[in-house]
Every structure is written in structure tokens, then in C-alpha cells.
Amino acid sequence: MKYICFIAMIFIGLFTQNAWADNNSSDNLLDKRFVVYGGAQRYEAKGDFSSTREGRRKVTIDLNDLGLDEDETSPILGLRYKISKRWTFRFDYFGYHEEERRSADFRFNFDDLNVPVGARLDTDLDLDIYVANISYDIIHTPKARLGAGIGAHVADIDLEITAKLRLGERDVPLGDGDEELLAPLPNLYAYGSYLLEDNLLIRVGGGWISLSYEDYDGELIFASAFLEYWPFRHAGFGLGYRYVEADIEYDPGNKVEEYDVQLPGPMVYVVFGF
């Protein structure tokens, strides 16, 4: 998905090359044509999930039940490309990756795996989120921008649980459950930027959407706030806070998968712009 978005950005840039004068030499931070950033976010993940085959009793498992509620630091990256004076393309990537071992405190089933109390669990959770948006500045002044955008969040979830039972001096494998879900969720959002000083600015944004289509039923809430300091003409530093909540249900007919995950946390990054 991230490669598709990158190719789309290049195509848009080539297609609109003459839409915005190339001699735009403004040093205004809000007018940089191409901006890329990279850094890390400290997540305080929360949530629960279930995977229930048809005819079975639904059991919801909290991340805490598997020891996956630990704070985790993961890389983030993104870019912004100004297609024209008011139109901007944005791409962001962030994810949560955690592995844990612990004993089951209660009996549950996940996919085809039946876990008894006391079973030893090896859990691996990979959650990657890709975001691509096209936005338009409704308000556009030298110091402030306010606008709206449309795009998509794509949640790539891979959860694997392996169980074994200790009998005397040996471990008896009970099997494993593995669920993968690629859920595209369109989004609508609003954003704003304000130049506090020539080299200091704030960015805020957020949005929400809820919809059902085909086998998916989903709700997405997201919000963020950033402070950027640019001590150099083409480079700076930033810090911020981002909150994302995804509530996704996937029902292809023979089973029902439900994921309700919150990923709040602070972040730091370096940013480059031209």
C-alpha cells in the first residue's frame, strides 16, 4: 500500500507540474513544496479483539489478557507534497508491533485454536496503518492555513497466538490461531496550521468516519497536534501527540472478526522541507 501511495504522489506531481510556478522561492514554512519527516512514537496501546467461527460462543480478549498492553516505541514516517497553492497530498505511516509470552487466565477460542486455563501463550501482534489524503486550504494566509481533506486509512492487522500445555516435564502443542486483516477505511478530516514565528509553527488535525460496506463494518477516530521548530532553512525538529481509534468488524459469513484498538501516544521526529 505504501508503494502505491508513493507512486500516486509521483504521478500527481508530474501531472500538475505546471499548476504551480516552479519559481516559488518563499521561505515561509507553510509554503514548502515537499516535506518529509521520520521519527518515533511511544504508544500506550489499549483494545480488545475476537475471532469467532460460526456456531461458537464469542469470547472477547483484551490486550491485557495477552500481556500486549506494554508501552511500545515504533518508527513513524510521512510526507507532504503541495500539488498547487491550496491543494496538498499527504502520506503517513505508523504501526504497533509487540510480542509477549504468558499463561492464559481463562478459557477462550481464537480462530480454530481452543485455549484452556493455564496454557502457555506466545502472541505476536503487528498493526500497521497507512494514511493517504488529498486536502484543500479553505483559509490561506501567510501565517495560517485551515482546510479539509478526504482520503483513506488502511489498517493491516496480523495477530498470531500459539498455545501449548505443560504436562509433567514436557510441553504439548495445542496449535495456533492466525488472523490477518487488511481493512481500508475512508476518512474525512479537518486541519489547521499556524506560524507562531518565522521558524516555529503548530499543526493540528482530526476526523471521524463510520460506515459499512461489503464484509466490513468500521469506525475510525483520529486526532493529532504537532509543534515544529526549524533552526535551519531546510531542516527542523518536531514533537507532538497522536490518537487513533479503529473499531473494525469483518464478517465474511463463516466467522466474525472484531478489532477495537486505541493507539494514543507522544512522538518526536526530524523534518526536512524544500
Domain count, the chain: 1
Residue 145, pLDDT score: 96
- Could you report the per-residue pLDDT of 51-105, keeping only the tens digit for each? 888 777 787 888 888 877 667 889 999 999 999 999 999 999 988 888 888 888 8
pLDDT at 250: 86
The reported pLDDT for the residue numbered 69 is 64
A 10 A CB-CB count for 251 gives 15
Contacts by 220-229 with C-beta closer than 8 Å and gap 24+?
220/153, 220/185, 220/187, 220/244, 220/245, 220/246, 220/247, 221/245, 222/153, 222/187, 222/189, 226/202, 227/200, 227/201, 227/202, 228/29, 228/200, 228/201, 228/202, 228/203, 228/271, 229/199, 229/200
Is 6 a domain residue?
yes
Q: Please tell me the pTM assigned to this model.
A: 0.80
Residue at 26 is within a domain: no
In a domain, 146, yes or no: yes
Q: Beta partners for 241?
A: 225, 266
For residue 127, being part of any structural domain is answered with yes
Q: Which of 227, 263, 268, 265 is nearest to 42 (CA)?
A: 265
> In this structure, is residue 28 part of a structural domain?
no
Q: What pLDDT does 182 receive?
A: 86
Local confidence pLDDT in tens for the 274 residues of the chain: 443 444 444 444 434 444 444 444 457 999 999 999 999 999 888 888 888 887 777 878 888 888 776 678 899 999 999 999 999 999 999 888 888 888 888 888 887 788 888 888 999 988 899 999 999 999 999 999 999 999 988 889 898 999 998 887 788 888 888 888 888 888 888 999 999 999 999 999 998 888 777 788 888 889 999 999 999 999 999 999 999 998 888 888 888 888 898 889 999 999 999 9
Is residue 199 domain-resident?
yes
Q: What is the per-residue pLDDT for 243?
A: 93
pLDDT of residue 70: 65
Burial of 209 (0-12, 13-18, 19+ CB in 10 A): middle
pLDDT at 7: 40
The pLDDT of residue 147: 96
Residue 118, pLDDT score: 86
What is the reported pLDDT for 168? 77
pLDDT at 171: 83
Is residue 12 included in any domain, yes or no? Answer: yes
Write down the pLDDT at residue 87: 96
191, 205 contact by CB (below 8 A): yes
Please report, rounded to a whole number, the percentage of residues in the chain having pLDDT higher than 90. Answer: 39
Q: What is the pLDDT of residue 4?
A: 43
CATH of the domain at 136: 2.40.128.90
| Residues comprising the chain, all counted | 274
40 beta partners: 75, 268
Q: Does 178 reside within a domain?
A: yes
Q: Where in the sequence is the domain holding 223, given as residue range(s)?
A: 2-21+33-273
